[in-house]
Homo-oligomer: A and B are copies of this chain.
Amino acid sequence: MKKLINSPEQVVPDALRGMAAAHPDLRVDHENRVVLRASGAVEGKVGLVSGGGSGHEPMHGGFVGHGMLDAACAGEVFTSPTPDQMQAATLAVSGGAGVLHIVKNYTGDVMNFEMAAELAAAEGDVEVRSVVVDDDVAVQDSLYTAGRRGVGATVLLEKIVGAAAEERRDLAACEELAKKVNGNARSMGMALTSCVVPAAGVPTFELGDDEFELGIGIHGEPGRERRRLGPLREVAEQLVEPVLQDLPAADGAPVVAFVNSMGGTPLIELYGLYAEVAAICEKAGVSIARSLVGPYITSLEMAGASVTLLRADDDLLSLWDAPVSTPGLRWGM
């Protein structure tokens, strides 16, 4: 295993030290491994907290800042953060308008966030609601999940609900909006290679020289099946068709198209994939209103990509366009 690390134990704390040093707009609570806005809790604003295992950067710590999250809890690589971390984050961002937990649907995350919500309500008198993201159409249940996994829609949801919270929409409205985004988004991923979890030191799985894993999870957990790798346009069809089949029809409403690298796939290939995705959508009569292309929800250095489509009405698009200033996503300010 060749990695730019001091030791497997130091990977997460070292990365958090780096984030703190590189981004003066952020504050890192190193003891609890929570990334926060340096400016502190915003009075009267719903606080948005997410988090999960590390190894998916820039998600979630890189999405803390104006227009997106208030806090992100960093677990060990591919391991859920603890309820204590989530409770600390929840109390730290509470500005009196309640806190929304944005939880990807993995058993550990869901359980721990539930416990944290109870603790925060009991101890800090903070009203907590939560949304569970489960946009992955690849598999119904998985190694880490009852029900669908939460993947790319998480990024879009954190951006859109972040903008709504910034507008001072209330907790119920933010919760409802989050559920609407999740309900209208579908994703599918694939991998060309495994990643290596630092503490394991060996690849999570092996793939043949001509194979790819269709429907891969963001922890390298199995997807639908292994297929022979063909040209990009075939791969794109295998990603987009199941997404389109499952996407709620909505009388010509356009989509936000998000083409994501799992980490190791370079931008030159990702733009090629985007071109194929756009062509397939056009053929299917689905118009793309906005797009996002890059590594935003990754699996360490795994080579592969995922496609997320979100049906978006005018409200979602206007929230998407709103200013955002985080290390991972920044525009309009």
Interface residues of A (CB under 8 A from B): 2-7, 10-12, 14-19, 21-23, 54-55, 57-58, 62, 77, 192-193, 209-210, 212, 229, 231-233, 235, 259, 263-276, 278, 288, 291, 293, 295, 298, 300-301, 303, 305, 325, 327, 330-333
21 contacts between A and B (CB under 8 A): A2-B229, A4-B232, A4-B270, A6-B231, A7-B231, A11-B269, A14-B232, A14-B271, A15-B268, A15-B271, A21-B278, A22-B259, A22-B274, A23-B291, A55-B268, A57-B267, A57-B268, A263-B266, A266-B301, A267-B298, A331-B333
| Residues in B whose Cβ lies below 8 Å from that of A16 | 271
C-alpha spacing A298/B295, complex, angstroms: 14
- Do B293 and A3 have beta carbons less than 8 Å apart? no
Q: What DSSP secondary structure best describes chain A's contact surface?
A: mixed
- Do A265 and B4 have beta carbons less than 8 Å apart? yes
Given contacts A18-B293, A22-B291, A331-B325, contact A5 B269 (CB under 8 A): yes
| Residues in B whose Cβ lies below 8 Å from that of A265 | 4, 301
| Residues in B whose Cβ lies below 8 Å from that of A333 | 331-333
From A6, A18, A22, A268, name the one whose CB has the most chain B CB atoms within 10 angstroms.
Answer: A268
Closest chain-B Cβ to A80's Cβ sits at a distance in Å of 16
- Do B4 and A272 have beta carbons less than 8 Å apart? yes
| Residues in B whose Cβ lies below 8 Å from that of A327 | 293
Q: How many copies of this protein are present in the complex?
A: 2
- Do A6 and B272 have beta carbons less than 8 Å apart? yes
| Residues in B whose Cβ lies below 8 Å from that of A266 | 55, 57, 263, 298, 300-301
- Do A235 and B4 have beta carbons less than 8 Å apart? yes
| Residues in B whose Cβ lies below 8 Å from that of A275 | 14-15, 17-18, 21
Closest chain-B Cβ to A303's Cβ sits at a distance in Å of 7
- Do A14 and B272 have beta carbons less than 8 Å apart? yes
C-alpha spacing A58/B272, complex, angstroms: 13
